[in-house]
Amino acid sequence: MMNRLGQTDIQVSPVSLGVMTFGSQTAEEDAFRQLDMAFEAGINLFDTAENYPAPVSPETQGRSEEILGRWIAARGVRDRVIVATKVTGPGNIAGDLTHIRGAGRRLDRTNIFAAVEASLRRLATDYIDLYQTHWSERLNTTIGRTRFSHIPDAPTLVPIEETLAALGALVEAGKVRHLGVANESPWGVMRYLAAAEAHGLPRIVTIQNSYSLLDRQFELGLAETAMREQVGLLAYSPLAAGLLTGKYVAAPAPIPGSRSSIFPAFVSRFSSKKLAATAAYVDLARRHELDPAAMALAFVRQKPFTTSVLMAASSATQLASNLKGLNLTLSKELLKEIDAIHDSLPNPS
């Protein structure tokens, strides 16, 4: 069963593959294996970004798009896959990204046009199926904050209407088919939709935000927006950066070859509440004789506001494990038990 991409005529797989590790943590040979495995499993949506791979650096920037483009060309599947990528805004991204169009990087016409041309070249394609703003132009409170904090707009802030007009020009030119946003708030999504209606511009069709058993904040405002306005969720980090596999519960320490060994501060993010909630979900899965990762992925996939669950794996072996539970359906009774854990330990991420 496929899902409709917003109000478009495009059908996408309910599980998709994010390729942000390709070209850094994941070598090209392994990346090709992952892409082959995903495609053979029925996955047709592949998501990348101009600033990938992670961790971001000037030396590797753009490699993820290049590897995806080479695989598509080598397999001759451009007409059978949905390619999604993103333009980097100035927003909340940590680290120095001045190697991407300098310190003046903005979501304006000049930057967006330069970004899309570079992505088209790296992807070796004439068009992008889904082009997304990676972060908002303004600073917002969608990532890593448990409460709203007012952050004054920068004097150079590019209005959403201007960003959407630039993106709309790319749609009109045939370089982009449809538009989406990532790491956005309910206000941001509604502002994009209002701008589209007021100015005859293309509607956004997706929102790519974090969503998992450990981070259900999407439900607090964006879920209703997504369903009523048909702006479906592309859920990233459904395994909470690997935590929901259960591999860190017994010994929360860096694991060789994993993201925890690459990002020094990774394991320090494992708060006592996060580990307690994870342990509860892992124990629940095992009591029901389920793989914890499969249960976590199925939970996200079954939500009515989810268009596709973005899996990401550092190796083909890891992806093979995740693909085993692709068609798992959680019972109503199990979902009630999941909600009970959530109610006692809500959103520890």
Residue 119 scores a pLDDT above 80: yes
Residue 37 scores a pLDDT above 80: yes
CA distance 349 to 266: 13
Planar angle of CA 192, 196, 197, nearest 5 degrees: 120
Q: Tens of pLDDT along 42-69?
A: 999 999 999 999 988 999 999 999 999 9
Q: Which pLDDT does position 257 carry in this prediction?
A: 56
Cα distances (angstroms) measured from residue 24 to each of 19, 30, 54, 89, 316: 10, 11, 7, 22, 14
Q: Locate the domains of the chain by residue range.
A: 3-244+301-328
Q: Which of 4, 222, 182 is nearest to 84 (CA)?
A: 182
Q: Is the dihedral of CA 135, 208, 67, 24 positive or negative?
A: positive
Q: Which pLDDT does position 248 carry in this prediction?
A: 76
Least confident of 40-49, 137-146, 284-293, 328-337: 137-146
CATH class name, domain 3-244+301-328: alpha beta
Structure tokens at 239: 């395994």
Which entry of 52, 211, 236, 281 is annotated as an active-site residue? 52
Is 131 in the active site? no
Count the residues in the chain. Answer: 349
For residue 325, name the pLDDT band (cuts at 50, 70, 90). confident
Percent of residues, the chain, with pLDDT higher than 90? 80
Q: Give SS3 for 198.
A: helix
Q: Which pLDDT does position 144 carry in this prediction?
A: 62
Q: Which pLDDT does position 147 carry in this prediction?
A: 75
For residue 148, name the pLDDT band (cuts at 50, 70, 90). confident
CA distance 31 to 35: 6
Residue 78 DSSP label: G
Q: Tens of pLDDT along 231-264?
A: 999 999 999 989 999 987 755 555 555 554 555 5
Residue 185 scores a pLDDT above 90: yes
| Strand pairing report for 204-210 and 306-311 | unpaired
Max avg pLDDT among 25-39, 82-96, 126-140, 143-157: 25-39
